[in-house]
Structure formats: structure tokens, C-alpha cells
Structure 1
Amino acid sequence: MLIRIDPASTAPLYEQVAASVRRAVADGEVSPGSTLPAARELAGSLEINVHTVLRAYALLRDEGLIDLRRRRGAVVLGGANDRARLAELIGELIGEARREGVGVDELTTTIRERYT
């Protein structure tokens, strides 16, 4: 699995790391049960702070894509492919909303109106 970051991007590094993992899961590069690189290892290879990777992993855990296990690391959960694709689309939507100057309240209202 190749994780890429763009230092010139306006997106925070932890979001870029999380987006790379989401994309890899959605594309089937990483399957349920697979272990992601250790935070220290990944941080070293990307030349970023280990806390940045841990924040990305925590975000993915909160989204239900991975499980963080002591001594075992970050493990991709079953059913993560569908959630990863949805999380990726939501991330793209949020990015587009920010570029267009749409606030969170307006975006939330629009989603609620269309969801029902």
C-alpha cells in the first residue's frame, strides 16, 4: 500500500494520510484483516511526526474503518470497503464545500433535505 502526502496541499497531513488509507481500502489494495504500517514506521517513511499518523489512524478508527489494537497495530475491519468509499466521497464533498465557501450548517441542512 502506497501512502502519499502533498506538503503543498492545504489539507492537513493527517487528513491526507487517512484519505490514502481510505482510497487503498476502497480500491481493494488493502483487505479486511490486513495490518496497516506501524505509526512510527509510516511516519519515518513519510518524514512526518508520529502523532500525525496516530491522529489519522484515530480518525479512521472513529469512522469504523480500522481497529487499533495494542501490540497488533491498526487492523482493517470487515466491511470497511463500503465505509471507506463513503468516507472518501464525504471528504471530497467537504473539500468542495470549503472551496465554495459553504458553511457546515448550510451543508448539513442541504444533506438533511436531500436525504429524506
Structure 2
Amino acid sequence: MLLTLDLNDPRPLHEQIAEAVRRAIALGDVRPGDRLPPARDLAAALGVNTNTALRALRELRDEGVLEFRRGRGVSVLRAPEPREVLRDRVTALLEEAERYGYRVDEVIEIVRELAEAKEGRR
């Protein structure tokens, strides 16, 4: 499982990690029943504190996406709802757009333009 963080993203690192894990599961890179690396290994790979990685994993456990088992590690319990994944991505988009000075209605217009262009290609 290859995860990356955006150090320019103003969201807390644990939120970015949780979103990246959700996305990996939603894309099928990690499936229900698969084990995740220990928080220590995940933190080392991402260059963050172990507690930061653990906080992200606990958040996903609380959502019912992951399961912690003593002696067996962390495993994927279920795929997140597609709407959850999409909401996370839209939230990140709106936050980034705000940093560039775009209003929500302007972002919606950009999405409409892209959707219309995509429909025109079909």
C-alpha cells in the first residue's frame, strides 16, 4: 500500500492519512480482510510521528472501516461508503479552492464545465 501526503495541504496529517487509506480501500488497492502495516511502519514510511498514524487508524476504526486485533494487527473490516470518500475529496477541493481565492459557486461552475465537456466526449 503506497500512501503519500501533501505537505502543502493545511489539513492535519492524521486526516490526510485517513483519507489516503480510505481512498486505497475504495480503489481496491486494499480489500476487506487485508492487514495494514503497523502504525510504526506506516509512520516511518510517511515520515510522521507514530501517534499521528495511530490517530488516523483509530479514526478509521471508529468509522467501522478498520478493525484492531491484539496480536493480529490492523485489518480492513469494510470498504468506506463511496459517498464518504467523495465528501472527503470535495472538502479538500473546496479548501484548496478557497486558498486560491475561489468561491464555492465558482468551483461549482468549473465542475459543471468539466462535466459538460466530458459528456460531449461520449
Q: How many residues align?
A: 98
Please list the CA deviations of residues 28-70 of structure 1 after superposition, one character each: whole Å capped at 9, or x if unmatched.
1111110011100111111100000000001101111110112
Q: SS in structure 1 opposite 2:54?
A: helix
Q: CA deviation at 1:74?
A: 1.1
Structure 2: distance between partners of 1:12 and 1:84:
22
CA–CA distance in 2 between the matches of 1:13 and 1:24? 16
The answer to whether the aligner puts 1:4 opposite 2:1 as a matched pair is no
- TM-score w.r.t. structure 1 length? 0.74
Separation in 1 of the partners of 2:18 and 2:81?
10
Q: Secondary structure at the match of 1:86?
A: helix
2:89 corresponds to which of 81, 89, 92: 92
* SS, match of residue 74 in structure 2: strand
- 1:33-112 paired onto structure 2 within 5 Å: 33-77=33-77, 80-81=78-79, 83-95=80-92, 99=98
1:26 corresponds in structure 2 to 26
SS at match of 1:74: strand
Q: AA paired with 2:52?
A: T
Let me know the Cα RMSD of the aligned residues. 1.8
- Give the greater-gyration-radius structure (CA): 2
Question: Unaligned 5+ residue runs, structure 2?
Answer: 105-122
The Cα of 1:21 is off from its aligned counterpart by 0.6
Q: Percent identity?
A: 42
Residue 97 of structure 1: CA displacement?
Answer: 6.1
SS at 1:4 equivalent: coil
SS at match of 2:68: strand
Give 5+ residue unaligned stretches, structure 1.
Answer: 102-116
Is the alpha carbon distance of 1:90 and 1:68 closer, same or farther for their aligned partners in structure 2, counting shifts above 3 Å?
A: same
